[in-house]
Amino acid sequence: MGMGAIARPGKQAIHSHMKPVVETSLCNGCGKCVEVCKVKAIAIEEGKAFIEQGN
């Protein structure tokens, strides 16, 4: 079953424990992850993605 019937606050509570992660072994520095990260937690430095502090 999808989550379409759950109110927004309920969805946020269910997913609030999730933290952004970068799979560094798969990173080629293209920046696509930066573009699609919904919480704007990813940055690229020296050709590799990383999670910015505070996210």
Give CA–CA dist 48/2, Å, rounded: 34
- State residue 1's pLDDT score: 53
- State residue 30's pLDDT score: 96
Is residue 50 within 8 A of residue 42, CB to CB? The reply is: yes
Give CA–CA dist 12/16, Å, rounded: 6
Give CA–CA dist 41/33, Å, rounded: 10
Model pLDDT for residues 1-55, shown as the tens digit of each residue: 566 677 777 666 666 677 888 998 999 999 999 999 988 999 999 999 999 977 5
DSSP state of 53: T
| Range list of β-strands (E), 1-55 | 42-45, 48-51
Say how many Å lie between the first and final Cα of the chain, rounded: 29
The pTM of the full predicted model, rounded to 2 decimals, is 0.61
